Amino acid sequence: QVQLVESGGGSVQAGGSLRLSCVVSGSTYVKSCMGWFRQAPGKEREWVAGVNLGAGPTFYDGSVKGRFTISHDKAKKTLYLQMNSLKPEDTAKYYCAADGGEWAIFDCSRGDSFYWGQGTQVTVSS
């Protein structure tokens, strides 16, 4: 099993920044990738960004590209999401995900089995 614990959420004004962290622990290793997803009230969960743990390339949804940066510190077993130039439409609960199944899309947007954290709330006011 893999446990994921997110932190770093909060309330900021539009244009502000936050950095989310996701600490990985457990007896099972994460397979190919990790990612960040978000879910706003009344909306479906959506993929935000992903990182391939082997080769290291990063991927972003178009709505956050250029504003968000995903990174992974292997030594600290921590996934980060640096969020700059935040907008009210970024308001959502953000979830960390880790590939634990037989397959996952290269950008970690989909897979047959993900481990999930409990989420951290991000609220951006105008």
Helix, strand, coil % over all residues of the chain, rounded to 5: 0, 55, 45
Could you give the 3-state DSSP secondary structure of residue 1?
coil
Predicted local confidence at residue 1, as pLDDT: 85
What confidence score (pLDDT) does residue 68 get? 98
Torsion of CA 65, 23, 37, 1, to 10 degrees: 140
Both tokens of 4, joined, read 């994921």
pLDDT digits (tens, 9 = 90+) for 46-96: 999 999 987 779 999 999 999 999 999 989 999 999 999 999 999 999 999
d(CA 77, CA 110): 21
